[in-house]
């Protein structure tokens, strides 16, 4: 069955630095979705990418969908303490949404 993998599992970042987290699917995706879950909270939808090679920005967050529609990345610039949490990518498979294991981000002030 479809598998969605994310790396790294943990990302420890100095405040102000940039980082990137990656998502790879074992199958071609119709779309890729990204969610953020704060500690003790629930996943919150961030964005959906649909087109091959699509790039979308949300303030300091840049999301990219690969040309083959099997991978995606999230790049955060000038990391802030508000960026703390776990970032999940998710890919649809029929009626199911398969989530990766997430990248948990901690920030050193």
Partner 1 sequence: ETGVTQSPTHLIKTRGQQVTLRCSSQSGHNTVSWYQQALGQGPQFIFQYYREEENGRGNFPPRFSGLQFPNYSSELNVNALELDDSALYLCASSSLGGLTTYEQYFGPGTRLTVT
| Cβ atoms of residues 24 and 4 within 8 Å | yes
Stretch that binds partner 1, among 14-22, 37-45, 51-59, 64-72 (CB under 8 A): 37-45
Stretch that binds partner 1, among 14-22, 57-65, 75-83, 84-92 (CB under 8 A): 84-92
User: Within a 10 A sphere around the Cβ of 102, how many other Cβ atoms?
Assistant: 20
| Cβ atoms of residues 91 and 4 within 8 Å | yes
Question: Which of 39, 59, 82, 94 lies at the binding interface for partner 1 (CB under 8 A)?
Answer: 94
Find the shortest distance in angstroms from Cβ 16 to partner 1: 27
Find the shortest distance in angstroms from Cβ 38 to partner 1: 12
| Cβ atoms of residues 30 and 83 within 8 Å | no
| Cβ atoms of residues 103 and 10 within 8 Å | yes
Q: Summarize as ranges the residues that interact with partner 1 (CB under 8 A).
A: 30-31, 33, 35, 41-45, 48, 88, 90, 92-102
């Amino acid at each position: 069955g479809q598998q969605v993998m994310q790396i790294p599992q943990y990302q420890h970042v100095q405040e102000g630095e940039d980082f990137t987290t990656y998502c790879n699917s074992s199958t071609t995706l119709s779309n890729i979705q990204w969610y953020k879950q704060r500690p003790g909270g629930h996943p919150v939808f961030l964005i959906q990418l649909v087109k091959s090679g699509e790039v979308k920005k949300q303030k300091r967050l840049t999301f990219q969908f690969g040309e083959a529609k099997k991978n995606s990345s999230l790049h955060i610039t000038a990391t802030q303490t508000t960026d703390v949490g776990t970032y999940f990518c998710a890919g649809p498979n029929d009626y199911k949404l398969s989530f990766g294991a997430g990248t948990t981000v901690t920030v050193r002030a």
